[in-house]
Amino acid sequence: MAEIKLDENRCNKCKICVDACPFGCVILDGQYPRFVDCRFCGICVTRCPTNAITISKKEEVSADLSSYRGVMIFAEQRRGKISPVVYELIGKGAELAEKLGEPLKAVLLGNEMRNEAEELIRYGVEEIYLYQDPKLEVFKDDPYNQIISDLVQEVKPSIVLMGATSIGRSLAPRISAILKTGLTADCTGLEIDEDGNLIQIRPAFGGNVMAKILCTNNRPQMATVRYKVMKKTELKPSSKGTVKEMTFDIRNIINRTEVVDFKKMDSQVSIVEADIIVSGGKGLGGPDGFESLKELASLLGGAVGASRSAVDEGWIDYSHQVGLSGRTVRPKIYIACGISGSVQHLAGMQTSEIIIAINNDPNASIFKVATYGIVGDLYEVIPELIRKINVTKKLSTS
């Protein structure tokens, strides 16, 4: 931490520092300047003609990194069911824990969740900290961040992983601030370096750069991970572990919000959960192009996706957007129609098992990641696909 000081014996009250500060952090308190929310840029120091202003760094006490061990997963639950992203976190967490030679742990908050906790043991978690109370049944920031922060300070895991969901994105920054440690959001990759540090990988600068971020001086190392970018863990019936029922006084937990009711969204096939996605881009030329994509997706039992450019044009709702600023998907089949293949879009779908690209530009970037490519007019290709599928369905039922 830095500290800024004024030597009033040297200050000649010239007010140069007030005018020099680009952030407006220097104000006059009587005749002398006062520093409010200083950014420690040092401009006032260099401009002061009498050297009356100094910035000094306070010596920080480094954390004892050797006292932190293990990988801890936040086992997010909604309505009493473990969120799908948790099984991806367990898979990656187990891989990291094995490389470090440390245990894999999880923390689960809810009500009457003992069975779900024991089920996580069968997926490879060695130790689960279970907090149960009717007031924890629904996620709320205050109690969740207070309980988890206290647990992390007690257990001292080296790594804490959360899903980059609406809950994880709300919870993780609060916990990292309480623990005074770093946090990397929306990671698409996690590795361990030769020194045992967590390499947190995420897209930066609009997806043009894959940044590798380390937290070398503080613990725990915290990251939120995008859903559908990690491989889901497999069931391990022979796995053994323990569930620790944690005791706490709910009366001592701050709780400033109340969830009054839930309203379920209109039912539709989620692009995140779909096994088949038919996506459209700027090459559709307009919103009418999505009608044929919807027909194709319906025949295949899939969902309709879109590139950011199509969403920005207002051709389809944002909930369909695939990519860096949209959803990350990992279907069995991804059909890209009229999508050029920008790095931002590829970041959200390139882990699909099979990618079929339809584009009239043979040099389109999408073909570089495609399993199968069709160079042609999508308004000729898609109707022919629909016709062939209908013919095949008729033959199979006759």
- 83 and 165 together in one domain: yes
Asked if residue 265 is part of any domain, the answer here is no
Q: Are 346 and 330 in contact (CB under 8 A)?
A: no
pLDDT in tens, 30-50: 788 999 888 888 999 999 999
Q: What CATH number is associated with residue 76?
A: 3.40.50.620
265-273: list long-range contacts, CB under 8 Å, 24+ apart: 268/303, 269/297, 269/302, 269/303, 270/303, 271/303, 271/304, 271/305, 271/319, 271/320, 271/322, 271/327, 271/329, 272/227, 272/228, 272/327, 272/328, 272/329, 273/84
Q: List the CATH number of the domain containing 379.
A: 3.40.50.1220
Counting residues of the chain whose pLDDT is more than 70, the rounded percentage is: 95
- pLDDT mean across residues, the chain: 90
| Count of domains observed in the chain | 3
Q: Does one domain contain both 388 and 358?
A: yes
| For residue 10, pLDDT beyond 60 | yes
Residue 270 within any structural domain of the chain: no
Which CATH number belongs to the domain containing residue 27 in this structure?
Answer: 3.30.70.20
Q: Do 284 and 367 share a domain, yes or no?
A: yes
The 10s digit of each residue's pLDDT in 289-317 is: 999 999 999 999 999 999 999 999 999 99
Give residue 24's pLDDT band: very low, low, confident or very high (50, 70, 90). Answer: confident
Percent of the chain clearing pLDDT 90 (strictly above)? 67
Task: Say whether both 53 and 128 belong to one domain.
Answer: no
SS3 state at 142: helix
Q: Above 80 in pLDDT, residue 58? A: no
Give yes or no for residue 62 having a pLDDT over 70.
Answer: no
CA 370, CA 77: separation in Å to the nearest integer? 35
**Rounded Cα distance, 394 and 387, in Å:** 11
Strands 104-110 and 71-74: parallel
Residue 258 placed within a domain: no
CA distance 218 to 83: 29
Give the residue among 207, 169, 205, 199 at the shortest CA–CA distance from 185: 169
In a domain, 267, yes or no: no
Confidence at residue 206, expressed as pLDDT on a 0 to 100 scale: 63
Range of the domain at 34: 2-57
Residue 61's pLDDT is 56
> Are residues 295 and 229 both part of a single domain?
no
Residue 371 is classified by DSSP as S
Give the tens place of pLDDT for each residue, 145-157.
999 999 999 999 9
Tell whether 150 and 124 lie within a shared domain. yes
User: Is the same domain home to 91 and 22?
Assistant: no
> Are 80 and 149 within one domain?
yes
